[in-house]
Structure 1
Amino acid sequence: MTPGLVIFDCDGVLVDTEPTTDRVIAENLTRHGLTIAPHEIHTLFAGGTLKAVGEGAAARGARLPPDWLENAYAEVYAALRAGVNVMPGVLDLIDALEDAGVPMAIASNGPLQKMEISLAASGLWNRFAGRIYSAYDHAPKPDPAMLRHAMQVAGAGPDTTWMIDDMPAGWHAAAAAGCNCFAYVAEGGPARAAGFAATPVTAMSQIAAAFRV
């Protein structure tokens, strides 16, 4: 099976930003009156936008100033600049797809500035240049708009397009766009993707094997 396009989510698929982001936001919200642990941030808000996190936190009693979103992003960016790890096996998968001539793109609910910070050190930002799509320019997943835009730009049909995402928002977006999906569930295992129209995988090597690259 040779795909016509592979679309990667960013956080939790390409780079391991989520532990840092969850910690920073938990500390921030605690200062604003909502005592919450990093794992609760992940459970409640993973896969969404930081704006949605703020809205959800305010609904739970956080007292957020008008400039909260701007300041929260500044805190997250500062922490990410200290360095994040690339997810295991993803560079090998990208190398294999490039060698096979398979087009690739990124579709993330995060802003471009955050992706540039988290992807630059590994060289992934430059490798995907011009094919990085953000929910700050398109409707956020689970809306399929970003995936449809990526397919249109690449000239790929949904039947040969594969999304790789670690969150239900991405799995729903892939289903709504009519494309195929790998649910990357290294954390939580295949049961986490039960009931979704996505193929669960726990290692990037499984995806490479499925693509035969």
Structure 2
Amino acid sequence: MNGRTGARPELVIFDCDGVLVDSEPISLVRLTENLQRIGVPIDLDTVARRFTGTSMTSIMAHIADDYGVPTPKGFVDAVRADTLRAFDAELTAIAGAAAVLETMRERRCVASSSDPQRLRHALSLTGLLPHFDDHVFSAAMVARGKPFPDLFLYAAGQMGVAPEDCVVIEDSVPGVTAARAAGMPVLGFCGGGHWAHDRAGADLLAAGAVRVFDEFTDLPHLLETWDASSR
């Protein structure tokens, strides 16, 4: 893989939850209620602030360390099943995502902290999966999830593209941190339903996003005007 000198990115790597599908308001509520059920004294705002964009493995490690509550047998599977049921009833794609993916020229893939079953279910349910030609990568495929760079480096390697020729679309601080650690520039998306948009924009910029946007339909223009100085 050799870096290009062209202006436009060769590969766009999308996070899924909160970027392609508006799943975070659903999954954060389900996670909060299930954590409370096993005795963790935590509220929705804390869960959203600390765990958005983080894998369940990392979340439960933090819960054990910070609250002294070990993961009960079957808990993670129960949370996943509960979340998938809620998705079936409530999940929608981010407004404008399907139309943009239909026309965008750049190669694209998904790199998400979600487990493979949830990830594919969400993309299938919202009709977005065909836009990625099965180029869908989960944190379950690497040793360390976000905020470590492993997943983004794995995705770029599988797609045969150098990290510097990618741009990542992320909505969370762990995701932005992971992409920057992988040597990839990031556009921060704060149009999902789970963030107060002013806070999200400031948080994502502070974590290293090149810029933020809150309308998915702005993405083609951002990619069209991309240049090497943005990297």
TM-score when normalising by structure 1 = 0.88
Deviations 1:16-50 (A, max 9, x none): 11111111122112221224332321112111112
Candidates 54, 57, 69, aligned match of 1:51: 57
Candidates 197, 203, 206, aligned match of 1:192: 203
Unaligned runs of 5+ in 1: none
Distance 1:48 1:125 in 2: 22
Candidates 74, 80, 85, aligned match of 1:78: 85
Q: Hey, what does 2:145 align to over in structure 1?
A: 140
Displaced runs of 4 or more, over 6 A: none
**Counterpart amino acid of 2:79?**
A
Q: Hey, what does 1:166 align to over in structure 2?
A: 171
1:155 aligns with 2:160: yes
- Preserved contact between residue 33 and residue 61 of structure 1 (Cα < 8 Å): no
Q: Hey, what does 1:29 align to over in structure 2?
A: 35
Q: Hey, what does 2:117 align to over in structure 1?
A: 113
Q: Hey, what does 2:181 align to over in structure 1?
A: 176
**% of aligned pairs identical?**
26
Distance 2:71 2:157 in 1: 39
- Preserved contact between residue 3 and residue 161 of structure 1 (Cα < 8 Å): yes
Bigger CA drift: 185-194 or 75-84? 185-194
Bigger CA drift: 80-89 or 104-113? 80-89
- 1:63, CA displacement in angstroms? 6.2
Distance 2:179 2:71 in 1: 33
TM-score when normalising by structure 2 = 0.82
**Counterpart amino acid of 2:155?**
A
Residue correspondences, number: 210
Q: Hey, what does 2:48 align to over in structure 1?
A: 42
Distance 1:159 1:129 in 2: 23
Bigger CA drift: 163-172 or 42-51? 42-51
Candidates 16, 23, 26, aligned match of 2:22: 16
- 1:67, CA displacement in angstroms? 2.1
Candidates 197, 201, 211, aligned match of 2:213: 201
**Counterpart amino acid of 1:87?**
I
Distance 1:129 1:168 in 2: 27
For the aligned residue pairs, the C-alpha RMSD in angstroms reads 2.0
- 1:62, CA displacement in angstroms? 4.1
Distance 1:29 1:202 in 2: 30
Distance 1:16 1:204 in 2: 12
Unaligned runs of 5+ in 2: 1-6, 226-231
